Structures are given as structure tokens and as C-alpha cells.
Chain A
Amino acid sequence: MTSFTKKQLLGFYEKMFLIRKFEEKAGQLYGSGAIGGFCHLYIGQEAVVVGILSSINSEDTVVTSYRDHGHIIARGVDPKLVMSELTGRSGGISKGKGGSMHMFSKKNRFFGGHGIVGAQVPIGIGLAFAHNYRNEKKISRIYMGDGAMNNGQVFEAFNLASLWSLPALFIIENNQYGMGTSTKRSAAGNDLYERAKVFGIEGVKIDGMNFFDVSKAAIVARDYIIKENKPYVIEMDTYRFRGHSMSDPALYRSKEEVLQKKEIDPVLTMKETLIKDHQISESEIKTLETEIKKIIKNAEDFALSSPLPDLEELYTEVYL
């Protein structure tokens, strides 16, 4: 089924569990007032980013929307730097000046963290353009939600990406709701990925709750993009267990629906599969989870003790 080693698989599970625990902690810190503003949690969608990560070349570029904590952590940025950005402290990845939705790391090839629905998609094809311009065999991974798929600039980006043969992988994280509006109430036609077809962009829809399905599709997609010199789209059928943001009670969906989706919780599913099919013991996983909990505790401590930004920071970095 897969050629991953046991160590790699544990590594992927570790990332998923890390993101889950990070987001739970972020939710708690929001509740205590340590995190302010908007805070969009990734809980439930972990298999998407980690599955895609399993195919990633370290030089590939990544760009995503505002639901970005899991993405930047998956890309290898220290959770401490992410958590302290959420608490708006000087130790944050953006020195506390960006916040939950605006985090970047050039070193880790992560280009944000964008707060306006759909805006990251043209930016992402710009990163793909730069790969081509420099004759690099790299691809740009562009994440967007189902909500963005009704935003005009996304189609402009599809057209340009196909027209200019850009190495772009469009990843639609269809978590079924753009804020409180279900895809059924917002998107005409059939599956979202099919909309790319009119631009000559091939694609597929897969189970985004299953790491192995995502990983398989991501590897196929990357090979296709590099070999065919064309963009590609994957629609992830996924689900967020929390509201759109912390202040969303999610009354637009039933408790039964959420419970049903929790039956296929990507983190738990991954754990069960590792134990059942990959000769990984429960105690190995327990050890790893204990380590992650420590990392989260450290991140929390750092995020709460890191000083607020210097007042001088107000006027720095407006211009270079």
C-alpha cells in the first residue's frame, strides 16, 4: 500500500498529533484571553496537510489561507514561534505583528498565511511562475477552502496556471462550509475540482480524512506536475470539528453530523491503522504522544512568557 518506513509513518503521525494538540491548546488560550482576534482552528483536517507533506520536496513552496497554524507547523516551523505569534509576543514568527492569519517563513518555503479568501491563489501561481522562471524542478502548493472556490480570482489563477504551464498543485480543502454556508448552498454544479477542468486542469477528489489516501494522491500529483509541466487539482473531502473561528457556535450543522464525522477522525484513524497494519505498538505511540504534549507545554510557556513587542516595533518594517 505504501513504501513508507515505520519511522516515516511515525513521523507523519507525530505531525498530525502535534497539530491536533497545538490547536486544542490554541483554543484554550483563546478562551483564557491570551490569544485575541480571529482564530481559525485546523482540528479535523490534519490528514490533508500531513498527507500532502509526505510528498513534498523541501524546496517546494507553500501558500495557504488564514487557517494556517497546522500548515506552518507541518512545514517545520517551531510550534513555539507559532504559538507566540498567536499570543502576539515578540517571540512570534512574525514578531507578534502578523497574528493568527499572517505567518511566513522563507527558510521553510512557507509564504503565508493570507487573510482574504482566495487571495493566496494568484499569489501561489506567482510562486509557481518563479519556479519556472528559475528553471527549478519544484512545485507550488496552493491550499484553499471550499469558500474560495466561489471567488473570481481563483478562476483567473486557474486560467493563468494552465495557460502558462505553471507547476502548481491546487489543494481544495473542502470542509463543507464556508463559514456558516454549506457548499450545497453556495456552489452550483458538481464537485468543486471539476471546475478546473474547463481550463484544462486535471484533478481528483479524494477522502481528505485519510492520511494514506491523501499521501497517495499527493505523490501522483507531484509526479504529474513535474513530468507533464501542467498544474493539477486535488479536492479533499474533509471536515472541521470546530466552528469556522473561535466565535462560531456552528449552529448551521447538526450534532449528529459532527459526531458522524468524528467517527472518521483523521488522527485516531491514522493511529489505529499504524497499530493494525504497520507493526507499530501502542506503547511506541504513547511515548511519542507524551513527547508532543511536552512540546506543546513548552510552546505554551514560551508563548505566555515571551515579552510583548517593543513599542518601537510599531513603526518598523513598514518599508525595507
Chain B
Amino acid sequence: MNGTAKRRSDQVLGGAMIAMLALVLAFLVTPLLVTCLLAFDARSFLGPLPPPALSLRWFEKLVSLDYVATGLATSLKIAVLTTVIDVLVGTAAAVALDRGSFRGRGLLMAAFLSPLIVPAVVIGFALLLFLSRIGIVDGFTRLLCGHVVITLPYVVRTVLASLTGRDRRLTEAALVLGATESQAFWTITLPLIRSGMVTGAVFAFAVSLDDVAVSMFLTDPTTYTLPVALVSNMRASFDLTIAAAAVLLMAVSALLILVLERFVGFDRLLGQGLFRS
């Protein structure tokens, strides 16, 4: 293969790769843009793009729906409570798992991360059977249990990653400067693992807010989350109200992204153990 041929092969393949990347990005983004656009469509039916006129009719319809308001309230309550429980329990567990080596540490770590590898549907079904058997039929409690199980690993994992990344000598420096173990924890360790806690909390919140697979099993007739309500409705009719809901949910994702960027930064996010292969 001579130089010119090599150069040509590189150019062709380089061009093909750029085209493919563009296609991938388009595939990822286009449906979302279409949804955003159609959510503001003034037509009462699903027509071809672009919409001839824009309006907020779907949003108005959305907020007028009872199931949306009820679902959203439940979803937010559950997500906030779940996140708080996760951060408290998960951070404590991660700190304990990080405190030097002790017998069975690897096993415990695996135990704390194991809900991630069990399919959500299986967790939901198992919890339903178990909670019914012990007599817990209240939808809110059941949903909270389910959401804590599936989100706790995120906080344990990110806090553990931020603990591993920190310099153990900083704690020793604090001790030698006169701080007790608990003072060193509050003044040195905690501020340094804050980014891990924020990342874990954001992911826990997002997963909780989005869950369908577990929640489907655990709702009761009056307590249901927004995604569960939307899914049932989506199957019932194809209506652009859901596009409006999707736009709102996208806005929540964007908001969470801003929190991450502000408190953690994307560069450090990759070091938080969520995307380690």
C-alpha cells in the first residue's frame, strides 16, 4: 500500500466515522427535540412537523389532570425521602466500609452494591410478596421501601469512590494537629467526600423519580407515582399531554445536570465510580 492509498483510506474512513458519529448523536437527540416541539403543538391531533402554531394547551391539560398532580406529589415526596435516607444510611455504610480492612469487607461491599445487579422487576415483585405477607399494604411505605433498595447502591458507590480517592494522610494530619477522630471526620473527610454524596444523591433522586419497574408492583389505588400513572395512560391513549409531561421531566434532568456541574463538575463525575467498567 503506498502513501497515497494510505492517505486516501484514512480520509475515507475518517469521513465515514464522522458521519456515523453525527448519525448517532442525531439518533440520541432528535426524538427528544421532536417531543419538545410537539408538546407546544396547537393542533388537537398528531400531525406532521412543523406545527403550524404553538400553544400551551397540552401543558394546561396536563396540570388539570388529577392523576398527574397526585402522582407528581407522591413521586416528589418519595424521591426526596428516598434520597435523604440513602445519603444518611449510604454515607455511613460507605465510611464504615472504607475504615481500614476487616474480615468480610469485600462481602459486605458486594452486599451493598447487589441491588444494582438484581433486575428491578424482580425486586419489585419480591417486595410485593414480602410486604403483603408481613401485612404492610400502605402504598407509600411500600414504594419508599422499593425505592430505597434500588437507589441505595448509587450513594454507597459514589461515596465509597470519593473516599478511596481521598488522601488518607489528610486525616492523619488532622489527628496529629490535635483533632479527634470525629473532629477529623467532620472537618476534613466530610467536606472532601461532598462531591461523591452529591453525585450519589442526584442519581438516587433521578432513579427514584423515574422508576416504573419496581413501583408498578407497589402502588395502591390512591398512592401511585407519576411515571406509573403516565405509563398506564400512555397505554390507554396516545395523547400529546404526555409530551408536555416529558418536557417537564426533561427539565428535571437538565436541572439535575446543572446541580452536578455546579457541585461536582463533569470531569470529576467520571471518577465517582458510576461509569467504571
A and B are interacting partners: no
